[in-house]
Structure formats: structure tokens, C-alpha cells
């Protein structure tokens, strides 16, 4: 077991934090502690930026790390959405149709990924990073100060575009790959799907 944990680097452990923080965030939700929930959700979002920086700076990028990062991101997003549902119920009710319509492409993308690869994608495109920043900003701001509508609509629009890009990448790539960056980037070497070696075609 120790040998298994030795394989994980410092960037992986920041991703692990976001995964392990989920039960604590759920507890804060159950207790109705809005401010504490917002603070620890902000910390979780911050670790996403930290692990990405460390992975690039220390050249610790790997397919395993990308998968852990994606899992941590998805769980943190779910926690944030649950926080909005509980603490901003009226806002969710007023915009439920828009939220459902925005989630349909995401569910399609997720279903396509599991059908084709047996697991979620970890493309980590530039658009996905922008979408994640917008989501984190909107959710944390809404929890601290209340929802901002223009930011909500902008977040939804970018999120849908990002999901459509992911769907296109799933169609393009027959094998699971990580860190593709954008639809304009294709692998230099198709024999190694985990290499992360891509060329920009833009």
C-alpha cells in the first residue's frame, strides 16, 4: 500500500484534497453553515489552480494526474451546485429551465465518454479552464454575496461551448487521451494516447 501512495506526487495530493474534502463540505451543507461552506469551497477551488501550476512547473503531468484532477473538479462543482440549491433555492427555481438545458449537453458528453472510453474525459482544454474559472467565480460569489445574473449567463454560455468542444474531441479521438488543450490540437504520435504530446493546428 505504501508503494502505491509513493507513486503520487505533490500535485496529485492537491487533487486528492478536493476529493477528500467532499464529505466535509456535505457536512457543512447539512449543518446549514453557509459562510463556512463558502470558505472551504473556495479553498477547494484554490487547490485546483495550485495543482495545475505545480504539475506544469515541476513537470509532473501524467494521465493519472489528469484523471484525479478531473474527478476532483467534478466533485467540487457538484458540491458548489448543491450549495446553491440549498442556500439560493429561489435563484435555482427561477432559472431551473436554463440550468437543465445547459446540463443536457454535459450529460450527453459524459455518456459518450463512458461508452467509448469506460471513464470520464480529462482533456483539460483551454476552454474548460476558462469555464471552470467562471463556474468557481459565480458559485463562490453567489454564496458570499448573492448571484450576479450577467455572470450566470456568461458562465452558462461558455460552459455549453466547452461541452460541445468535448463532444467533438470524443468523436475525434478513438482512444482516451489527456491534456488535449483544444479542438485545434491533434496528437503528434497516435501510438501513445497518454503521452500528452500534441501539436497546435490553430
Average pLDDT, integer, range 3-11 = 58
- d(CA 25, CA 103) in angstroms, rounded, equals 22
- d(CA 193, CA 197) in angstroms, rounded, equals 9
Per-domain residue ranges for the chain?
A: 2-200
Q: 139 with 78: CB under 8 angstroms?
A: no
Q: How many C-beta neighbours within 10 Å does residue 99 have?
A: 15
- d(CA 88, CA 83) in angstroms, rounded, equals 8
What is the value of pTM for the model shown?
A: 0.79
Q: Residue 88 has what pLDDT?
A: 96
Domain 2-200 matching CATH 1.10.3470: the answer reads no
- Give percent of the chain above pLDDT 90: 56
Amino acid at each position: 500500500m505504501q508503494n502505491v501512495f509513493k507513486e503520487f506526487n505533490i500535485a496529485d495530493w492537491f487533487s486528492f484534497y478536493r476529493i477528500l474534502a467532499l464529505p466535509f463540505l456535505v457536512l457543512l451543507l447539512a449543518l446549514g453553515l453557509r459562510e463556512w461552506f463558502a470558505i472551504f469551497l473556495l479553498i477547494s477551488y484554490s487547490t485546483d489552480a495550485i495543482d495545475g501550476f505545480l504539475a506544469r512547473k515541476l513537470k509532473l503531468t501524467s494521465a493519472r494526474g489528469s484523471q484525479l484532477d478531473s474527478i476532483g473538479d467534478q466533485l467540487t462543482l457538484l458540491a458548489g451546485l448543491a450549495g446553491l440549491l440549498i442556500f439560493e433555492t429561489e435563484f435555482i427555481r427561477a432559472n431551473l429551465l436554463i440550468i437543465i438545458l445547459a446540463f443536457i449537453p454535459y450529460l450527453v458528453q459524459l455518456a459518450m465518454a463512458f461508452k467509448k472510453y469506460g471513464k470520464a474525459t480529462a482533456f483539460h482544454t483551454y476552454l474548460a479552464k476558462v469555464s471552470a474559472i467562471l463556474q468557481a467565480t459565480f458559485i463562490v460569489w453567489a454564496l458570499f454575496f448573492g448571484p450576479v445574473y450577467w455572470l450566470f449567463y456568461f458562465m452558462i454560455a461558455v460552459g455549453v461551448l466547452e461541452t460541445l468542444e468535448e463532444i467533438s474531441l470524443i468523436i475525434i479521438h478513438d482512444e482516451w487521451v489527456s491534456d488535449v488543450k483544444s479542438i485545434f490540437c491533434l496528437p503528434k504520435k497516435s501510438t501513445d494516447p497518454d503521452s500528452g504530446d500534441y501539436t497546435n493546428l490553430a
